[in-house]
Structure 1
Amino acid sequence: MKLIRFGDVGKEKPGVQLENGTKIDVSHFGEDYNETFFETKGIERLKNWLKDNESKCPSISAEARLGSPISRPSKLVCIGLNYAQHAVEAGMKIPSEPVLFFKSTTAIIGPNDDVIIPKGSKKTDWEVELAVVIGKKASYISKEEVIDHIAGYVLHNDISERSFQIEREGQWCKGKGCDTFAPLGPFLATTDEIKNPNNLKLWLKLNGKTMQDSSTSDFIFNIQESISYISQFMTLLPGDVISTGTPFGVGLGLKPPLYLKPGDVMELGIEGLGVSKQSVKAYQTK
């Protein structure tokens, strides 16, 4: 099943994208895709509800805005340097254990919303990533238990401001959590839709030119290793998002480096998880 959320910013409603691509409004199911939904077996309950109610659900206009397919989670945890070639291009050593950082949940936007270059930014960059959505509370879980704790998977563009991230004092979160820096979607694909998350093609184009083209088979730490590891340090709650790192081909690694500017367009996708597209805009004083 493919879960979507649609409508104006802050007023999104739940929907489902059917196998034929049709999008339907499931507002009458009565729940948003949030922590409570996932922890109460919402995916299974929604599937059962649709057996009797799908034909009654109105279609969603093709022009409707898509929001993040998950209502704001308790946290968005990211893994850095999880592809060997990306570590090399970033000039950093290959890690011996996962590098963790957080993105602010206020960075989350819809898959086709504009990305805003922050005030004072000179080095805003792109990063296509596979993100995992937690379906069941996870604390100190083994690698063998991980798949049972996953609700599904989603496309993520881990937008990053490199001067904030690397050249300023402190942790990476300065360059990772700016507003609009976490486009998610177009949909959340439940686990039955993705047979092997550790072997998915992912790519990103900038203004029509391919910049990233790789596979999650190049993970240093795969999904099971990563989520088990994170659960040793914090409790993961239903609806939490875990972003699993980006492959080589980011602007930081080019010679000379290339960064986003107003007017640029990013298009990205992951096998089985659809495509998103973001236009880049300059920060405007409100």
Structure 2
Amino acid sequence: MKLGTIRINGKPTVIARVADDKAVALDFAWMEDLIEAGNAGLDSAAAAIEAAVAGRLPVIDLANADWMAPNPRPSKILGCAVNNNNLNQYAVKPMTAPMFFTKGRSALTGHNKSIELLKDHGQSIPEPEPVIVFGKTAKNVAPENALDYVFGYTLTNDVTASGVKFSQDSIALKQRPEVIKPHHLAWRPKFEGGEDTYLLFIYHSKSKGADTFAAMGPWLTTKDEIPDPNALRVRGYIDGECYADDSTANYFFPVERVISEASKWFTMEVGDCLHTGTASKGTEKHPRGNIGTYLNLYDGKLTDVEIDGLGRLSNRISVGS
């Protein structure tokens, strides 16, 4: 089943897909209400679809729909950083656990909406990837039980403005030797020669969580339609050309480990969103994949994310002042 949220006359409306371009309105104020209802919520949605097909409920034409993110009100949005073997082949030291960043609700935008880049963001790359939407509260979940907490999956373009990340939001500090502790340097090799007391700090709020940097949707696909989240083909497009063609099979950490690790540090609540890792493997014309694709050079063009079984998300790039 595919579920979504659109605005009708300015009012958020939860919908279920009836056909490719048709939907039916559901009797829930927000997507979280449907999720919290459990099987009863899914049964209600299935009954509405059946009634729409039979002509007993009105059908919504989605040709010019005003899309929102499938769940516009998650308590948190987490992303799993650098979770792709195409990127980790360059790691000086392998990761020992999934790494996370956060985004606020204000970063969300929907299908067919603009991704708004500031000139100060500089070089900004797309990151096409699946998103887990939680169906129940998850805390300290074991990997073998992780998928039990998934309600469904959607897709996102996790925009990253590396231009601002490595300019305004990075700083290297030369600390006094007596301040340096082993954990400060464990992540990197020891520099040869001179005092090894430089620490690098990078902050991600402006580069990962700016407004519209979490384009998401259009559909939330229930987990029964996705038998293996670690075997999804993920493609990214810029101005109609495929720049990345990858698979979640290429993750450094499988989806179950990502869920488990997230629930160790954060209480994942109903409707929360977890990006599981970017697609990065390039194509013949775009050998560097997503890391060589700069959205800021494509003002007014479309960027798309396509994931088998989940659908296609399309957004227009807008570069402002």
Matched, 1:259 2:294: yes
CA distance in 2: counterparts of 1:43 and 1:165, whole angstroms: 42
CA distance in 1: counterparts of 2:118 and 2:277, whole angstroms: 22
Q: Which residue, out of 222, 245, 250, partners 2:277?
A: 245
- CA contact under 8 A between 2:157 and 2:215: conserved in structure 1? yes
Matched, 1:63 2:64: yes
- TM-superposed CA distance for 1:158, in Å, is 0.2
The 5-angstrom pairing of residues 113-192 of structure 1 reads 113-167=113-167, 168-169=169-170, 170-192=202-224
CA distance in 1: counterparts of 2:8 and 2:319, whole angstroms: 21
CA distance in 1: counterparts of 2:3 and 2:101, whole angstroms: 26
| Structure 2 SS opposite 1:56 | coil
Q: Which residue, out of 247, 251, 268, partners 1:215?
A: 247
TM-score w.r.t. structure 1 length? 0.88
The one-letter amino acid paired with 1:279 is: R
- TM-superposed CA distance for 1:51, in Å, is 7.0
* Equivalent residue number for residue 24 of structure 2: 25
Deviation sequence 1:180-200 (CA, Å, 0-9, x none): 111111100001111111101
How well do the aligned residues superpose, as a CA RMSD in angstroms?
2.6
Cα distance change, pair 32–92 in 1 and its aligned pair in 2 (3 A): farther
Deviation sequence 1:138-196 (CA, Å, 0-9, x none): 01111122111100000100011102233423422220011111111110000111111
The one-letter amino acid paired with 1:155 is: L
Cα distance change, pair 204–92 in 1 and its aligned pair in 2 (3 A): farther
Cα distance change, pair 144–121 in 1 and its aligned pair in 2 (3 A): same
Q: Which runs of 5+ in 2 are unaligned?
A: 171-201
Which deviates the most, 128-137 or 78-87?
78-87
Cα distance change, pair 240–112 in 1 and its aligned pair in 2 (3 A): same
| Structure 1 SS opposite 2:156 | strand
Cα distance change, pair 53–203 in 1 and its aligned pair in 2 (3 A): same
* Equivalent residue number for residue 109 of structure 2: 109
The one-letter amino acid paired with 1:186 is: P
* Equivalent residue number for residue 203 of structure 1: 235
- TM-superposed CA distance for 1:50, in Å, is 2.7
- TM-superposed CA distance for 1:256, in Å, is 9.9
The one-letter amino acid paired with 2:36 is: E
Deviation sequence 1:205-260 (CA, Å, 0-9, x none): 11122111011111111111110111111110000000011122589957995422
Q: Which runs of 5+ in 1 are unaligned?
A: none
| Structure 1 SS opposite 2:315 | strand
Q: Which residue, out of 12, 36, 44, partners 1:39?
A: 36
Structure with max Cα Rg: 2
CA distance in 1: counterparts of 2:144 and 2:152, whole angstroms: 17
Which deviates the most, 96-105 or 244-253?
244-253
- TM-superposed CA distance for 1:96, in Å, is 2.0
Deviation sequence 1:54-102 (CA, Å, 0-9, x none): 443321122222221112200000000100112347x775422101110
| Structure 1 SS opposite 2:132 | strand
* Equivalent residue number for residue 281 of structure 1: 318
The one-letter amino acid paired with 2:274 is: I
- CA contact under 8 A between 1:68 and 1:111: conserved in structure 2? yes
Q: Give aligned pairs, total.
A: 280
The one-letter amino acid paired with 1:229 is: E
TM-score w.r.t. structure 2 length? 0.79
Cα distance change, pair 71–263 in 1 and its aligned pair in 2 (3 A): closer
* Equivalent residue number for residue 100 of structure 2: 100
| Structure 2 SS opposite 1:280 | strand
The one-letter amino acid paired with 1:175 is: S
